[in-house]
Amino acid sequence: MSRAETDLATPLSRTVATTPTDVWNDSCSIRELQYSLANGAVGATTNPSIVLAVLKKEYDAWKEPLRQLVAQHPAETEDAIAWRLIEAMGLKGAELLLPVFEREGGRKGRLSMQTSPVYYMDKERLVEQAVRFAGLAPNIQVKIPVTAAGVAAIEEATYRGVVINATVSFTLPQAIAVAEAVERGLKRRAAEGHDVSAMTPACTIMIGRTDDWIKAVAKRDGIVVTPGHLEWAGLAVMKKAYRLFRERGYRTRLLAAAYRNHMHWSELIGGDLILTIPYDWQVLFNGSDIEVKPRIDDPVDPAIVDELYRKFPDFRAAYDENGLAIAAFDGYGATRRTLRAFIEAYRDLTAIVRDIMIPPA
């Protein structure tokens, strides 16, 4: 259904129908995506942690397809089979979103598929995998991490016609670097006569993981903070990034991810941006009595920003446009924690594949 035709019965459906804000399902689970689509969602996303979670929750549905992949490709490694499974899951989600993609003329209805987390330092492998994913279906969007190598890969992949969704991103400097890299890629592509009007690049800011990191620093360093103020770190970064993106006319659209509380939805309503929301949070939001009204332009209390800015160098690094050099992206605390989590999830996924290939004795 179109935005105008979306049922207004739930808060998320009203968010989509009455504001420019789009909602994506933060999973490739078909059951969860069907729920999201019924509430106005126009996209979905995957990453190693999500694929692993879906496989565990829906193992009965995926066990036989996984066994078939192993049987059909007897000479392949567990890594190769794992990627075949990741692609298969993503393509099922992409198929479900295809009617949205066609209805919206390619502007919406995409499934974000993430490049391998172990390639975070390798521009060429990131680009190669991005190009492959983009060729799997017309509505695939490709997630590339905002590491030093990832920024270069984002420009090159964009130039090659890949619709990117930057990920492993927590700070304003990362978001600006993505937007500038995309602009360079689009300009290079357009200069060669290619139409870029249907490309819809996005840049994720994992606002919940920004909060997580500042909270971890507070605990590690014994920093006392006014109760509730730590919940605003990611939102402060996001709202500032949104303002700058509008002022500068970047063609990259911001995306909020990693939900920790309702403000990660309610404070961003009304923005021309994307909210990629996990299924469990969608259910909670839809069962709430929170008023659906635009709050994107409501500033974060200056007293909150001031306290975070004074007490946390890592918040200053995230909040200031020049707080981090591109070469420092890989070493930022939230980046290291998230890359490790994604790589560990990927290894856990390959272990499940291994159990199918070599059943325990």
Q: Is 73 helix (H, G, I), strand (E, B) or coil?
A: coil
- The answer as to whether 271 is a domain residue is yes
- The answer as to whether 19 is a domain residue is yes
Q: Determine the Cα–Cα distance for residues 6 and 63; give it in Å rounded to an integer.
A: 35
Q: pLDDT of 186-225, one tens digit each?
A: 999 999 999 999 999 999 999 999 999 999 999 999 999 9
pLDDT at 7: 64
Range of the domain at 80: 11-350
Where residue 284 sits, what CATH number does that domain have?
Answer: 3.20.20.70
Q: pLDDT of 220-254, one tens digit each?
A: 999 999 999 999 999 999 999 999 999 999 999 99
Q: Is 111 helix (H, G, I), strand (E, B) or coil?
A: strand
Residue entry with tokens 């059943």: 359
Q: Find the DSSP H helices in 39-108.
A: 48-57, 59-72, 78-103
Angle at which helices 30-38 and 78-103 pack, to 10 degrees? 20
- The answer as to whether 361 is a domain residue is no
- The answer as to whether 358 is a domain residue is no
- The answer as to whether 336 is a domain residue is yes
Q: Determine the Cα–Cα distance for residues 139 and 225; give it in Å rounded to an integer.
A: 44
Quick one: which of 5, 58, 2, 1 has its CA closest to 27? Answer: 58
- The answer as to whether 355 is a domain residue is no
- The answer as to whether 208 is a domain residue is yes
Give the burial string for 291-330 (b: 16+ CB within 10 Å, else e): ebeebbeeebeeebbebbeebbebbebbbeeebbebeebb
Residue numbers in the chain where pLDDT is lower than 50: 1-6
- The answer as to whether 3 is a domain residue is no
Given 3-state DSSP classes, what are the helix, strand and coil percentages for the chain, each rounded to the nearest 5? 60, 10, 35
Three-state secondary structure string covering 137-169: CCCEEEEEECCHHHHHHHHHHHHCCCCEEEECC
Give me the number of domains the chain comprises: 1
CB 120 within 8 A of CB 111: no
